[in-house]
Amino acid sequence: MLARKRLLITGVLTRKSIAFAVAHEAQLAGAEVLLTGFGRTRRMTERAAARLPDPPDVLELDVNAEDDLAALAAEVEQRWGGLDGVLHAIAFAPADAIGGKFLETPPESAMEAFRTSAYSYQALARHLAPLMDSGGSVVGLDFDASVAWPSYDWMGVAKAALEAVNRYLARELGPRGIRANLVSAGPIASPAAGGIPGFDGLSGSWPEVAPLGWDADNPTPIARAVCFLLSDWSEAISGELLHVDGGAHAIAGVAPSRAESTAPFRVRLSAERLVGASGRASWGRASRRRP
């Protein structure tokens, strides 16, 4: 499905990262892969890369630095002469922008969450789109931001912005033959999930609500959906939000106890559906750029 495709994948921190599963499935499907890493966490990305079927190189990228983005595009062009697809798996919200602090969040923290989690999607696509002369695919990791989630606060606002950015990228890049889509996944026990209040309760209750069931330790279904969107099989799909959550997004049944944002999650009928970061939204500075 991805034979001879040249793919850049961000967001690999450990073997439990959703992005790692994407890289693994992409290589099995025949793709050439490059990863990105940043600062001190780049060593972790390199260790994870060594466990892939064909260990790829890891390129430096601070997605908030224009110089890094320009250097990344130049390096990809030098190596491959072009690009067929990119996965954006990057998000961050400062500690005072999540966890029930919505009204207390200073503007600087809200703007940092927006820039790293939403604007960076445009920035990455803007720098790499010129390398997709024959068309290509831009895919981002997201969760459904159509409602307000407990504790998600400004990360939820940033994810809503990410969905809007995706629609505008689809509009702007479509005439070049480049698609832009997002994948919204159920909770995965990834490094990013470790800082989510009540994550264990959420992931534990998810299979009770998802019509197809759900395994929080298995990111492969998400990775395969991403690979589909990176492949030519999705040639007429753009501006889409594809849910890979066992069907839970369609069922009004996953909600947390209101007692505390960190209390165990329970299942009840509700108009709210709390969806965790699913390995996408980073909650601590150590995982700032690598969901």
How big is the CA angle at 99 (ends 93 and 105), to the nearest 5 degrees?
Answer: 60
What span, in angstroms and rounded, lies between the C-alpha atoms of 112 and 95?
11
DSSP calls for 91-112: ----GGGSSS-GGG--HHHHHH
Q: Which residues are catalytic?
A: 152, 159
Rg (CA), the chain: 18
- Let me know how long the chain is: 291
Helix count (H) and strand count (E) of the chain? 8, 9
Exposure of 273 by Cβ count < 10 A (0-12 exposed, 13-18 middle, 19+ buried)? buried
> In angstroms, what CA-CA distances link 65 with 44, 60, 71, 72, 116?
21, 11, 10, 11, 10
Secondary structure element (H or E) that encloses residue 153, with its range: helix 153-173
